A and B are shown apart, each in its own frame.
Chain A
Amino acid sequence: MRLSISHDTTYHYDDQVRTSIQYLRLTPHDSERQHVLNWQLNLPRPVRAQLDPFGNILHVLTMDEPHDDLIISASGEVDIDEHCEAEHDDQSAYPYLRFTRLTQPDEALREFAHQQCNSHRDRDALIRLMNALSERIVYTPGSTKVDSSAAEAFAGKSGVCQDHTHAFLACARSLGIPARYVSGYIYTEDAGHLASHAWAEAWLSDAWYSFDVTNGLSRPERHLKLAVGLDYLDACPVRGMRRGGGVEQMHAKVLVSPTLSQSQSQGQSQGQTQQ
Protein backbone atom coordinates (compact mmCIF):
# COMPACT_ATOMS: atom_id res chain seq x y z
CA MET A 1 0.00 0.00 0.00
CA ARG A 2 1.25 3.42 -0.88
CA LEU A 3 0.38 6.20 1.56
CA SER A 4 0.53 9.88 0.83
CA ILE A 5 0.98 12.06 3.88
CA SER A 6 0.61 15.73 4.48
CA HIS A 7 1.18 16.92 8.06
CA ASP A 8 1.10 20.62 8.95
CA THR A 9 1.65 21.83 12.49
CA THR A 10 1.11 25.50 13.21
CA TYR A 11 1.90 27.21 16.49
CA HIS A 12 0.55 30.67 17.25
CA TYR A 13 1.79 32.57 20.28
CA ASP A 14 0.03 35.41 22.06
CA ASP A 15 3.33 37.16 22.69
CA GLN A 16 6.50 37.11 20.69
CA VAL A 17 8.71 34.08 21.25
CA ARG A 18 12.28 35.26 21.76
CA THR A 19 14.04 31.97 21.17
CA SER A 20 12.85 28.42 20.72
CA ILE A 21 14.22 24.97 20.08
CA GLN A 22 12.38 21.91 18.80
CA TYR A 23 13.34 18.26 18.52
CA LEU A 24 11.49 17.07 15.42
CA ARG A 25 10.95 13.42 14.62
CA LEU A 26 8.91 13.94 11.48
CA THR A 27 10.92 12.01 8.92
CA PRO A 28 10.38 8.28 8.40
CA HIS A 29 13.24 6.05 7.39
CA ASP A 30 13.41 2.96 5.26
CA SER A 31 12.95 -0.39 6.91
CA GLU A 32 11.93 -3.93 6.09
CA ARG A 33 8.33 -2.89 5.92
CA GLN A 34 8.36 0.67 4.66
CA HIS A 35 10.09 2.36 1.78
CA VAL A 36 10.21 6.13 1.61
CA LEU A 37 9.65 7.30 -1.96
CA ASN A 38 9.92 10.97 -1.24
CA TRP A 39 9.71 13.15 1.81
CA GLN A 40 9.90 16.89 2.42
CA LEU A 41 10.19 18.68 5.69
CA ASN A 42 9.51 22.38 5.38
CA LEU A 43 10.98 24.42 8.22
CA PRO A 44 11.45 28.17 8.72
CA ARG A 45 15.19 27.67 8.27
CA PRO A 46 17.38 24.86 6.95
CA VAL A 47 18.33 22.19 9.46
CA ARG A 48 20.68 19.25 9.16
CA ALA A 49 19.27 15.80 9.93
CA GLN A 50 20.88 13.59 12.56
CA LEU A 51 20.07 10.27 14.17
CA ASP A 52 18.73 10.32 17.71
CA PRO A 53 19.60 7.75 20.42
CA PHE A 54 16.87 5.42 19.20
CA GLY A 55 17.95 5.57 15.57
CA ASN A 56 15.18 7.96 14.53
CA ILE A 57 15.82 10.76 12.05
CA LEU A 58 15.94 13.93 14.12
CA HIS A 59 15.95 17.58 13.11
CA VAL A 60 16.81 20.12 15.77
CA LEU A 61 15.27 23.45 14.87
CA THR A 62 16.68 26.41 16.78
CA MET A 63 15.12 29.83 16.30
CA ASP A 64 16.84 32.79 17.86
CA GLU A 65 15.04 35.56 16.05
CA PRO A 66 11.79 36.70 17.67
CA HIS A 67 8.75 35.06 16.10
CA ASP A 68 4.96 35.03 16.56
CA ASP A 69 4.29 31.72 14.94
CA LEU A 70 5.96 28.57 13.77
CA ILE A 71 4.90 26.41 10.88
CA ILE A 72 6.27 22.93 10.42
CA SER A 73 5.10 20.86 7.52
CA ALA A 74 6.00 17.38 6.46
CA SER A 75 4.77 15.55 3.42
CA GLY A 76 5.68 12.64 1.24
CA GLU A 77 4.88 9.20 -0.03
CA VAL A 78 5.78 5.89 1.50
CA ASP A 79 5.26 2.34 0.38
CA ILE A 80 4.09 -0.03 3.08
CA ASP A 81 4.61 -3.76 2.76
CA GLU A 82 1.32 -5.08 4.15
CA HIS A 83 2.63 -8.60 4.40
CA CYS A 84 5.62 -7.85 6.52
CA GLU A 85 4.63 -8.43 10.12
CA ALA A 86 7.88 -8.13 11.99
CA GLU A 87 11.04 -6.09 11.89
CA HIS A 88 14.46 -7.46 12.64
CA ASP A 89 17.12 -5.52 14.47
CA ASP A 90 20.78 -6.16 15.15
CA GLN A 91 20.78 -3.99 18.29
CA SER A 92 19.89 -5.54 21.60
CA ALA A 93 16.30 -5.11 22.76
CA TYR A 94 17.22 -5.24 26.45
CA PRO A 95 17.26 -1.46 26.90
CA TYR A 96 13.54 -1.54 26.17
CA LEU A 97 12.93 -3.50 29.36
CA ARG A 98 13.34 -0.50 31.61
CA PHE A 99 10.48 1.54 32.94
CA THR A 100 10.02 5.27 32.64
CA ARG A 101 7.77 7.60 34.60
CA LEU A 102 5.06 7.25 31.96
CA THR A 103 5.32 3.46 31.71
CA GLN A 104 5.91 2.53 35.36
CA PRO A 105 3.39 -0.23 36.17
CA ASP A 106 1.57 -0.14 39.48
CA GLU A 107 0.26 -3.26 41.23
CA ALA A 108 -2.99 -3.13 39.21
CA LEU A 109 -1.19 -3.14 35.86
CA ARG A 110 1.21 -5.92 36.90
CA GLU A 111 -1.74 -7.98 38.06
CA PHE A 112 -3.64 -7.31 34.84
CA ALA A 113 -0.68 -8.31 32.67
CA HIS A 114 -0.23 -11.48 34.65
CA GLN A 115 -3.93 -12.40 34.36
CA GLN A 116 -3.92 -11.98 30.59
CA CYS A 117 -0.67 -13.76 29.85
CA ASN A 118 0.00 -16.08 32.75
CA SER A 119 3.25 -17.82 31.97
CA HIS A 120 2.91 -17.28 28.21
CA ARG A 121 5.32 -14.90 26.59
CA ASP A 122 4.30 -15.31 22.95
CA ARG A 123 2.48 -13.27 20.34
CA ASP A 124 -0.92 -14.80 21.11
CA ALA A 125 -0.58 -13.87 24.76
CA LEU A 126 0.29 -10.30 23.86
CA ILE A 127 -2.64 -10.13 21.44
CA ARG A 128 -4.88 -11.15 24.35
CA LEU A 129 -3.27 -8.44 26.43
CA MET A 130 -3.77 -5.90 23.64
CA ASN A 131 -7.46 -6.69 23.28
CA ALA A 132 -8.05 -6.72 27.02
CA LEU A 133 -6.39 -3.33 27.40
CA SER A 134 -8.42 -1.91 24.54
CA GLU A 135 -11.57 -3.04 26.34
CA ARG A 136 -10.42 -1.84 29.71
CA ILE A 137 -9.18 1.63 28.65
CA VAL A 138 -12.01 3.11 26.59
CA TYR A 139 -10.89 5.36 23.78
CA THR A 140 -12.02 8.81 24.99
CA PRO A 141 -10.33 11.88 23.51
CA GLY A 142 -9.68 14.52 26.12
CA SER A 143 -9.91 12.17 29.10
CA THR A 144 -6.18 12.20 29.78
CA LYS A 145 -3.38 14.70 29.45
CA VAL A 146 -0.15 14.49 27.50
CA ASP A 147 1.78 13.67 30.69
CA SER A 148 -0.67 11.12 32.08
CA SER A 149 1.00 7.86 33.03
CA ALA A 150 -0.03 4.33 32.10
CA ALA A 151 -1.17 3.68 35.65
CA GLU A 152 -3.33 6.81 35.71
CA ALA A 153 -5.07 5.97 32.43
CA PHE A 154 -5.56 2.38 33.56
CA ALA A 155 -7.11 3.48 36.84
CA GLY A 156 -9.31 6.05 35.02
CA LYS A 157 -10.36 3.41 32.46
CA SER A 158 -10.15 5.87 29.60
CA GLY A 159 -7.55 7.41 27.37
CA VAL A 160 -6.21 7.84 23.85
CA CYS A 161 -3.71 5.90 21.74
CA GLN A 162 -0.80 7.27 23.76
CA ASP A 163 -2.29 5.89 26.98
CA HIS A 164 -3.14 2.57 25.35
CA THR A 165 0.43 2.25 24.21
CA HIS A 166 1.93 3.21 27.57
CA ALA A 167 -0.29 0.70 29.35
CA PHE A 168 0.77 -2.01 26.93
CA LEU A 169 4.45 -1.17 27.41
CA ALA A 170 4.08 -1.21 31.19
CA CYS A 171 2.44 -4.64 31.08
CA ALA A 172 4.84 -6.17 28.56
CA ARG A 173 7.93 -4.95 30.38
CA SER A 174 6.54 -6.16 33.70
CA LEU A 175 6.36 -9.60 32.08
CA GLY A 176 10.01 -9.31 31.07
CA ILE A 177 9.28 -8.61 27.40
CA PRO A 178 11.16 -5.67 25.84
CA ALA A 179 8.66 -3.26 24.32
CA ARG A 180 8.81 0.18 22.75
CA TYR A 181 6.67 3.13 21.81
CA VAL A 182 6.03 3.88 18.15
CA SER A 183 4.74 7.15 16.79
CA GLY A 184 3.58 7.53 13.22
CA TYR A 185 0.56 7.73 10.97
CA ILE A 186 -2.30 5.39 10.29
CA TYR A 187 -4.67 5.29 7.38
CA THR A 188 -8.33 4.74 8.32
CA GLU A 189 -11.50 5.23 6.31
CA ASP A 190 -13.10 6.56 9.46
CA ALA A 191 -12.31 10.26 9.53
CA GLY A 192 -13.13 10.44 13.22
CA HIS A 193 -9.80 8.98 14.24
CA LEU A 194 -6.69 11.09 14.18
CA ALA A 195 -4.26 10.10 11.47
CA SER A 196 -1.36 10.81 13.85
CA HIS A 197 -1.07 7.67 15.82
CA ALA A 198 0.85 5.69 18.41
CA TRP A 199 1.20 1.97 18.93
CA ALA A 200 3.58 -0.48 20.56
CA GLU A 201 6.18 -2.97 19.44
CA ALA A 202 7.33 -5.92 21.49
CA TRP A 203 10.44 -8.02 21.02
CA LEU A 204 9.58 -11.67 20.70
CA SER A 205 12.68 -13.83 20.42
CA ASP A 206 13.79 -12.61 17.00
CA ALA A 207 12.02 -9.46 15.91
CA TRP A 208 9.79 -6.52 16.78
CA TYR A 209 6.04 -7.20 16.48
CA SER A 210 3.40 -4.48 16.41
CA PHE A 211 0.47 -4.12 18.77
CA ASP A 212 -2.00 -1.33 18.06
CA VAL A 213 -4.18 -1.38 21.17
CA THR A 214 -6.47 1.42 20.01
CA ASN A 215 -7.45 -0.35 16.79
CA GLY A 216 -7.01 -3.90 18.03
CA LEU A 217 -4.52 -4.59 15.23
CA SER A 218 -1.55 -6.90 15.49
CA ARG A 219 -0.59 -6.46 11.88
CA PRO A 220 0.76 -3.04 10.99
CA GLU A 221 -0.53 -2.95 7.43
CA ARG A 222 -1.81 0.63 7.51
CA HIS A 223 0.85 1.99 9.79
CA LEU A 224 3.66 4.32 8.79
CA LYS A 225 6.37 4.46 11.40
CA LEU A 226 8.07 7.77 12.22
CA ALA A 227 9.97 7.12 15.41
CA VAL A 228 10.43 4.74 18.34
CA GLY A 229 11.46 5.21 21.97
CA LEU A 230 10.93 4.12 25.54
CA ASP A 231 7.76 6.21 25.74
CA TYR A 232 5.92 9.15 24.21
CA LEU A 233 8.62 11.62 25.24
CA ASP A 234 11.29 9.84 23.22
CA ALA A 235 9.26 9.30 20.10
CA CYS A 236 6.78 12.18 19.83
CA PRO A 237 6.97 14.11 16.54
CA VAL A 238 7.60 17.52 18.12
CA ARG A 239 9.15 18.27 21.50
CA GLY A 240 10.21 21.84 22.13
CA MET A 241 10.94 24.64 24.53
CA ARG A 242 10.79 28.38 24.17
CA ARG A 243 11.55 31.62 25.93
CA GLY A 244 8.64 34.02 25.91
CA GLY A 245 5.53 33.63 23.81
CA GLY A 246 2.80 33.47 26.45
CA VAL A 247 -0.15 31.25 25.63
CA GLU A 248 0.28 28.93 22.66
CA GLN A 249 -2.31 27.72 20.17
CA MET A 250 -1.41 24.62 18.23
CA HIS A 251 -3.18 23.39 15.11
CA ALA A 252 -2.27 20.14 13.49
CA LYS A 253 -3.64 19.02 10.17
CA VAL A 254 -2.83 15.50 9.04
CA LEU A 255 -3.98 13.94 5.83
CA VAL A 256 -3.18 10.32 5.09
CA SER A 257 -4.51 8.82 1.90
CA PRO A 258 -3.70 5.77 -0.19
CA THR A 259 -2.37 6.41 -3.67
CA LEU A 260 -2.06 4.05 -6.59
CA SER A 261 1.21 2.30 -6.39
CA GLN A 262 2.03 1.70 -10.08
CA SER A 263 2.71 4.57 -12.42
CA GLN A 264 3.87 7.50 -10.30
CA SER A 265 6.56 5.77 -8.36
CA GLN A 266 9.40 6.38 -10.81
CA GLY A 267 9.01 10.10 -11.17
CA GLN A 268 8.91 10.94 -7.50
CA SER A 269 11.32 8.55 -5.94
CA GLN A 270 14.48 10.56 -6.41
CA GLY A 271 16.17 13.08 -4.23
CA GLN A 272 14.75 15.23 -1.47
CA THR A 273 14.22 12.63 1.18
CA GLN A 274 15.39 14.98 3.87
CA GLN A 275 16.60 18.50 4.06
Chain B
Amino acid sequence: MLSRTASDLYWMSRYLERAENLARMLDVSYSLSLMPHDGRGDGLDELAMPLLITGTFDDYLELHGQLNAERMLHFFAFDANNPASIYSCLGAARTNAHAVRGRITADMWENINATWLEMRGIAQQGLGGYGISRFCEWVKERSHLFRGATFGTIMRSDSYRFIRLGTFIERADNTLRLLDARYELLGEEDDIDDRSARAYYQWSALLRALSSFEAFAEIYRGSPHARKVAELLLLRPDVPRSLRACLEELNLILSSLPGDNGRPAQRLAAEMDARLRYSSIEEVLNGEEGLHGWITEFIQLVGQLGSAIHISYLEAA
Protein backbone atom coordinates (compact mmCIF):
# COMPACT_ATOMS: atom_id res chain seq x y z
CA MET B 1 0.00 0.00 0.00
CA LEU B 2 1.18 3.53 -0.66
CA SER B 3 2.61 5.10 2.48
CA ARG B 4 0.42 8.15 1.94
CA THR B 5 -2.69 6.01 1.86
CA ALA B 6 -1.63 4.23 5.05
CA SER B 7 -0.94 7.59 6.63
CA ASP B 8 -4.40 8.92 5.73
CA LEU B 9 -6.07 5.80 7.13
CA TYR B 10 -3.98 5.94 10.29
CA TRP B 11 -4.67 9.61 10.90
CA MET B 12 -8.33 9.28 10.05
CA SER B 13 -8.78 6.86 12.92
CA ARG B 14 -6.37 8.70 15.22
CA TYR B 15 -8.31 11.92 14.83
CA LEU B 16 -11.60 10.19 15.37
CA GLU B 17 -10.31 8.41 18.46
CA ARG B 18 -8.90 11.71 19.65
CA ALA B 19 -12.25 13.43 19.22
CA GLU B 20 -13.86 10.67 21.24
CA ASN B 21 -11.25 10.94 23.98
CA LEU B 22 -11.59 14.71 24.12
CA ALA B 23 -15.31 14.26 24.59
CA ARG B 24 -14.67 11.80 27.40
CA MET B 25 -12.23 14.23 29.00
CA LEU B 26 -14.69 17.07 28.68
CA ASP B 27 -17.52 15.00 30.08
CA VAL B 28 -15.67 14.09 33.28
CA SER B 29 -14.43 17.64 33.89
CA TYR B 30 -17.80 19.14 33.23
CA SER B 31 -19.60 16.81 35.63
CA LEU B 32 -16.95 17.36 38.32
CA SER B 33 -17.15 21.12 37.86
CA LEU B 34 -20.77 20.94 38.94
CA MET B 35 -19.81 19.37 42.29
CA PRO B 36 -19.41 21.51 45.43
CA HIS B 37 -15.82 22.73 45.59
CA ASP B 38 -13.31 23.71 48.21
CA GLY B 39 -12.16 27.10 47.08
CA ARG B 40 -14.09 29.36 44.79
CA GLY B 41 -16.79 26.88 44.06
CA ASP B 42 -17.06 27.95 40.42
CA GLY B 43 -15.52 24.77 39.02
CA LEU B 44 -13.19 26.76 36.77
CA ASP B 45 -10.10 24.81 37.79
CA GLU B 46 -11.84 21.62 36.81
CA LEU B 47 -12.89 23.06 33.46
CA ALA B 48 -9.33 24.16 32.80
CA MET B 49 -8.11 20.60 33.26
CA PRO B 50 -8.86 19.31 29.74
CA LEU B 51 -6.95 22.29 28.39
CA LEU B 52 -4.00 21.47 30.61
CA ILE B 53 -4.04 17.80 29.66
CA THR B 54 -4.08 18.58 25.94
CA GLY B 55 -1.46 21.32 26.28
CA THR B 56 -3.77 23.98 24.86
CA PHE B 57 -4.18 26.03 28.05
CA ASP B 58 -1.60 28.66 27.02
CA ASP B 59 -3.23 29.06 23.61
CA TYR B 60 -6.52 29.61 25.37
CA LEU B 61 -5.08 32.25 27.71
CA GLU B 62 -3.44 34.05 24.83
CA LEU B 63 -6.75 34.24 23.04
CA HIS B 64 -9.12 34.93 25.91
CA GLY B 65 -6.99 36.25 28.77
CA GLN B 66 -8.97 34.86 31.67
CA LEU B 67 -10.78 31.76 32.83
CA ASN B 68 -14.36 31.77 31.72
CA ALA B 69 -16.49 28.66 31.76
CA GLU B 70 -18.34 29.28 28.53
CA ARG B 71 -15.29 30.36 26.58
CA MET B 72 -13.22 27.44 27.78
CA LEU B 73 -15.92 25.00 26.80
CA HIS B 74 -16.31 26.60 23.41
CA PHE B 75 -12.57 26.74 22.82
CA PHE B 76 -12.17 23.09 23.69
CA ALA B 77 -15.16 21.73 21.83
CA PHE B 78 -16.15 23.98 18.93
CA ASP B 79 -13.42 26.43 18.08
CA ALA B 80 -12.38 25.95 14.45
CA ASN B 81 -9.26 28.03 15.14
CA ASN B 82 -8.11 25.63 17.81
CA PRO B 83 -6.56 22.72 15.92
CA ALA B 84 -6.99 20.54 19.01
CA SER B 85 -10.73 21.14 19.41
CA ILE B 86 -13.21 18.33 18.94
CA TYR B 87 -14.57 20.22 15.95
CA SER B 88 -11.14 20.40 14.30
CA CYS B 89 -10.41 16.72 15.01
CA LEU B 90 -13.63 15.60 13.36
CA GLY B 91 -12.86 17.88 10.41
CA ALA B 92 -9.37 16.43 10.07
CA ALA B 93 -10.70 12.87 10.29
CA ARG B 94 -13.15 13.59 7.49
CA THR B 95 -10.43 15.19 5.32
CA ASN B 96 -8.24 12.11 5.73
CA ALA B 97 -11.17 9.85 4.93
CA HIS B 98 -11.92 11.86 1.80
CA ALA B 99 -8.37 11.35 0.58
CA VAL B 100 -8.76 7.56 0.85
CA ARG B 101 -12.36 7.48 -0.28
CA GLY B 102 -11.58 4.57 -2.57
CA ARG B 103 -9.93 2.52 0.19
CA ILE B 104 -12.70 2.55 2.78
CA THR B 105 -16.20 1.16 2.41
CA ALA B 106 -19.19 3.28 1.48
CA ASP B 107 -20.62 2.68 4.96
CA MET B 108 -17.50 4.07 6.56
CA TRP B 109 -17.35 7.07 4.28
CA GLU B 110 -21.00 7.94 4.61
CA ASN B 111 -20.73 7.61 8.37
CA ILE B 112 -17.75 9.90 8.78
CA ASN B 113 -19.10 12.38 6.24
CA ALA B 114 -22.45 12.54 8.02
CA THR B 115 -20.66 13.04 11.35
CA TRP B 116 -18.84 16.01 9.97
CA LEU B 117 -21.96 17.55 8.45
CA GLU B 118 -23.84 17.13 11.76
CA MET B 119 -20.89 18.55 13.67
CA ARG B 120 -21.11 21.70 11.60
CA GLY B 121 -24.81 21.92 12.32
CA ILE B 122 -24.28 21.50 16.06
CA ALA B 123 -21.52 24.12 16.04
CA GLN B 124 -23.98 26.56 14.52
CA GLN B 125 -26.44 25.95 17.36
CA GLY B 126 -23.65 26.51 19.90
CA LEU B 127 -22.90 24.52 23.03
CA GLY B 128 -25.56 26.27 25.07
CA GLY B 129 -28.18 25.32 22.54
CA TYR B 130 -27.15 21.70 22.29
CA GLY B 131 -26.00 20.90 25.84
CA ILE B 132 -22.53 19.77 26.88
CA SER B 133 -23.32 16.30 28.16
CA ARG B 134 -25.50 15.63 25.18
CA PHE B 135 -22.72 16.77 22.87
CA CYS B 136 -20.17 14.50 24.56
CA GLU B 137 -22.57 11.60 24.26
CA TRP B 138 -23.11 12.41 20.60
CA VAL B 139 -19.36 12.38 19.84
CA LYS B 140 -18.91 9.03 21.57
CA GLU B 141 -21.89 7.62 19.74
CA ARG B 142 -20.61 8.73 16.33
CA SER B 143 -17.22 7.21 17.12
CA HIS B 144 -18.86 3.93 18.17
CA LEU B 145 -20.86 3.92 14.97
CA PHE B 146 -17.80 4.44 12.81
CA ARG B 147 -15.89 1.72 14.64
CA GLY B 148 -18.85 -0.58 14.14
CA ALA B 149 -19.07 0.25 10.44
CA THR B 150 -15.34 -0.36 10.12
CA PHE B 151 -15.42 -3.63 11.99
CA GLY B 152 -18.46 -4.84 10.12
CA THR B 153 -17.62 -3.86 6.55
CA ILE B 154 -13.94 -3.46 5.69
CA MET B 155 -11.76 -6.23 4.37
CA ARG B 156 -9.13 -7.49 6.83
CA SER B 157 -6.28 -6.11 4.77
CA ASP B 158 -3.50 -3.67 5.51
CA SER B 159 -6.05 -0.86 5.34
CA TYR B 160 -7.80 -2.33 8.35
CA ARG B 161 -4.50 -2.74 10.17
CA PHE B 162 -3.43 0.87 9.73
CA ILE B 163 -6.83 2.06 10.87
CA ARG B 164 -6.47 -0.02 14.03
CA LEU B 165 -2.90 1.17 14.63
CA GLY B 166 -4.12 4.76 14.70
CA THR B 167 -6.87 3.95 17.16
CA PHE B 168 -4.66 2.20 19.69
CA ILE B 169 -1.72 4.59 19.58
CA GLU B 170 -4.09 7.46 20.27
CA ARG B 171 -5.97 5.57 22.96
CA ALA B 172 -2.82 4.45 24.80
CA ASP B 173 -1.57 8.01 24.95
CA ASN B 174 -4.92 9.27 26.15
CA THR B 175 -5.40 6.76 28.94
CA LEU B 176 -1.95 7.60 30.28
CA ARG B 177 -2.59 11.33 30.22
CA LEU B 178 -5.99 11.10 31.85
CA LEU B 179 -4.72 8.93 34.66
CA ASP B 180 -1.69 11.13 35.17
CA ALA B 181 -3.75 14.31 35.39
CA ARG B 182 -6.18 12.89 37.94
CA TYR B 183 -3.32 11.55 39.99
CA GLU B 184 -1.55 14.90 39.91
CA LEU B 185 -4.70 16.69 40.96
CA LEU B 186 -5.24 14.52 43.99
CA GLY B 187 -1.72 15.47 44.85
CA GLU B 188 1.39 13.72 46.04
CA GLU B 189 0.63 14.80 49.62
CA ASP B 190 -2.59 12.83 49.57
CA ASP B 191 -2.07 9.30 50.59
CA ILE B 192 -2.22 7.08 47.57
CA ASP B 193 -4.86 5.13 49.36
CA ASP B 194 -6.93 8.25 49.91
CA ARG B 195 -10.48 7.26 50.57
CA SER B 196 -11.96 10.71 51.06
CA ALA B 197 -15.21 11.65 49.36
CA ARG B 198 -13.34 13.93 47.00
CA ALA B 199 -11.05 11.18 45.86
CA TYR B 200 -13.99 8.86 45.47
CA TYR B 201 -15.76 11.21 43.08
CA GLN B 202 -12.60 11.97 41.17
CA TRP B 203 -11.67 8.36 40.58
CA SER B 204 -15.25 7.38 39.78
CA ALA B 205 -15.49 10.17 37.23
CA LEU B 206 -12.26 9.02 35.61
CA LEU B 207 -13.47 5.42 35.42
CA ARG B 208 -16.75 6.58 33.91
CA ALA B 209 -14.92 8.71 31.39
CA LEU B 210 -13.00 5.64 30.29
CA SER B 211 -16.12 3.45 30.32
CA SER B 212 -14.40 1.31 32.94
CA PHE B 213 -16.60 1.87 35.96
CA GLU B 214 -18.45 -1.40 35.50
CA ALA B 215 -15.23 -3.28 34.91
CA PHE B 216 -13.81 -1.87 38.11
CA ALA B 217 -16.88 -2.81 40.12
CA GLU B 218 -16.77 -6.30 38.76
CA ILE B 219 -13.09 -6.89 39.34
CA TYR B 220 -12.47 -5.10 42.62
CA ARG B 221 -15.89 -4.79 44.24
CA GLY B 222 -14.96 -1.75 46.33
CA SER B 223 -14.74 2.00 46.12
CA PRO B 224 -12.11 3.18 43.69
CA HIS B 225 -8.76 4.44 44.85
CA ALA B 226 -5.46 5.20 43.23
CA ARG B 227 -3.73 1.85 43.42
CA LYS B 228 -6.56 -0.18 41.99
CA VAL B 229 -7.53 2.37 39.38
CA ALA B 230 -3.94 2.52 38.22
CA GLU B 231 -3.74 -1.25 38.04
CA LEU B 232 -6.97 -1.45 36.09
CA LEU B 233 -6.04 1.25 33.58
CA LEU B 234 -2.41 0.29 33.13
CA LEU B 235 -2.03 -3.42 33.50
CA ARG B 236 -5.36 -5.24 33.00
CA PRO B 237 -5.42 -6.96 29.59
CA ASP B 238 -9.20 -7.38 29.67
CA VAL B 239 -10.12 -3.68 29.94
CA PRO B 240 -10.35 -2.34 26.37
CA ARG B 241 -9.08 1.15 27.14
CA SER B 242 -6.20 0.06 29.38
CA LEU B 243 -2.61 0.67 28.34
CA ARG B 244 -1.90 -3.06 28.39
CA ALA B 245 -4.82 -3.82 26.08
CA CYS B 246 -3.70 -1.12 23.65
CA LEU B 247 -0.12 -2.41 23.57
CA GLU B 248 -1.25 -5.98 23.05
CA GLU B 249 -3.22 -4.87 20.00
CA LEU B 250 -0.41 -2.70 18.68
CA ASN B 251 2.09 -5.52 19.06
CA LEU B 252 -0.19 -7.96 17.26
CA ILE B 253 -0.99 -5.62 14.38
CA LEU B 254 2.61 -4.56 13.86
CA SER B 255 3.87 -8.13 13.80
CA SER B 256 1.35 -8.96 11.06
CA LEU B 257 2.42 -6.16 8.68
CA PRO B 258 4.38 -7.22 5.60
CA GLY B 259 7.90 -6.08 4.75
CA ASP B 260 10.96 -5.85 6.94
CA ASN B 261 11.28 -2.08 7.13
CA GLY B 262 9.10 -1.96 10.25
CA ARG B 263 11.49 -3.75 12.58
CA PRO B 264 12.22 -0.77 14.86
CA ALA B 265 8.50 -0.23 15.48
CA GLN B 266 7.84 -3.95 15.89
CA ARG B 267 10.66 -4.34 18.39
CA LEU B 268 9.58 -1.34 20.45
CA ALA B 269 5.96 -2.51 20.61
CA ALA B 270 7.04 -6.01 21.65
CA GLU B 271 9.29 -4.60 24.37
CA MET B 272 6.56 -2.37 25.75
CA ASP B 273 4.04 -5.19 25.62
CA ALA B 274 6.42 -7.49 27.50
CA ARG B 275 7.13 -4.89 30.16
CA LEU B 276 3.44 -4.43 30.84
CA ARG B 277 2.77 -8.13 30.78
CA TYR B 278 5.40 -8.85 33.42
CA SER B 279 4.96 -5.80 35.69
CA SER B 280 3.00 -5.66 38.92
CA ILE B 281 1.30 -2.52 40.17
CA GLU B 282 3.62 -2.48 43.19
CA GLU B 283 6.62 -2.20 40.90
CA VAL B 284 4.92 0.67 39.11
CA LEU B 285 3.98 2.60 42.25
CA ASN B 286 7.15 1.93 44.21
CA GLY B 287 9.56 2.69 41.43
CA GLU B 288 12.12 5.47 41.86
CA GLU B 289 9.97 8.13 40.26
CA GLY B 290 6.62 6.87 41.51
CA LEU B 291 3.50 6.58 39.40
CA HIS B 292 3.96 9.96 37.75
CA GLY B 293 7.49 9.11 36.69
CA TRP B 294 6.39 5.75 35.36
CA ILE B 295 3.55 7.28 33.35
CA THR B 296 5.81 10.01 32.02
CA GLU B 297 8.21 7.39 30.73
CA PHE B 298 5.42 5.49 29.03
CA ILE B 299 3.97 8.60 27.44
CA GLN B 300 7.41 9.08 25.90
CA LEU B 301 7.56 5.46 24.81
CA VAL B 302 4.16 5.68 23.13
CA GLY B 303 5.39 8.82 21.40
CA GLN B 304 8.48 6.97 20.21
CA LEU B 305 6.37 4.12 18.95
CA GLY B 306 4.26 6.63 17.04
CA SER B 307 7.36 8.10 15.37
CA ALA B 308 8.72 4.64 14.63
CA ILE B 309 5.46 3.76 12.87
CA HIS B 310 5.70 7.00 10.95
CA ILE B 311 9.25 6.47 9.80
CA SER B 312 8.78 2.77 8.98
CA TYR B 313 5.45 2.87 7.19
CA LEU B 314 3.85 6.22 6.73
CA GLU B 315 6.61 8.22 5.13
CA ALA B 316 9.01 5.45 4.19
CA ALA B 317 11.71 6.75 1.88
Q: Do chains A and B touch in the complex (CB under 8 A)?
A: yes
Q: Is A135 an interface residue (CB 8 A)?
A: no
CA distance A19 to B315 in the complex (A): 12
- Whole-angstrom distance between the Cβ of A21 and the nearest chain B Cβ: 11
Query: Is A30 interfacial (CB 8 A cutoff)?
Result: no
B1 within 8 A of A: no
Write out the residue numbers on chain B whose beta carbons fall within 8 Å of the beta carbon of A243.
Answer: 317
What total count of A-B pairs have CB within 8 Å? Answer: 4
Interface string of A26-42 (1 = CB under 8 A from B): 00000000000000000
CA distance A243 to B317 in the complex (A): 10
Interface size class of B (residues with CB under 8 A): under 10
**Interface positions of B from 280 to 317, Cβ below 8 Å from A:** 317
Determine how close the nearest CB of chain A comes to the CB of B309; give it in whole angstroms.
16
A101 within 8 A of B: no
Interface size class, chain A:
under 10
Task: Report the bound CA distance from A18 to B317 in whole Å.
Answer: 8
CB interface residues, A 45-65, toward B, < 8 Å: 64
Point out the residues of chain B lying under 8 angstroms from A18, CB to CB: 317
Q: Mark B102-121, 1 if CB is under 8 A from A, else 0.
A: 00000000000000000000
Q: In whole angstroms, what is the CA distance A58 to B34 when docked?
A: 71
User: B317 — which chain A residues lie within 8 A by C-beta?
Assistant: 18-19, 64, 243
- B residues near A64, Cβ cutoff 8 Å: 317
Q: Contact string, B13-42, partner A, CB cutoff 8 A, digits 1/0?
A: 000000000000000000000000000000
Shortest distance between the CB of B307 and any CB in chain A (Å): 12
Instruction: Give Cα A64 to B317, complex, Å.
Output: 7
B48-95: which residues lie under 8 A (CB-CB) from chain A? none
**Closest approach, in angstroms, between the C-beta of B186 and any C-beta of chain A?**
40
Chain A nearest CB from B292 CB (Å) reads 31
Binding site for B on A (CB under 8 A): 18-19, 64, 243
4 A-B interface contacts by CB (under 8 A): A18-B317, A19-B317, A64-B317, A243-B317
Residues of B within 8 A of A (CB): 317
Q: Which 4 A-B pairs have the closest CB atoms?
A: A19-B317, A64-B317, A18-B317, A243-B317
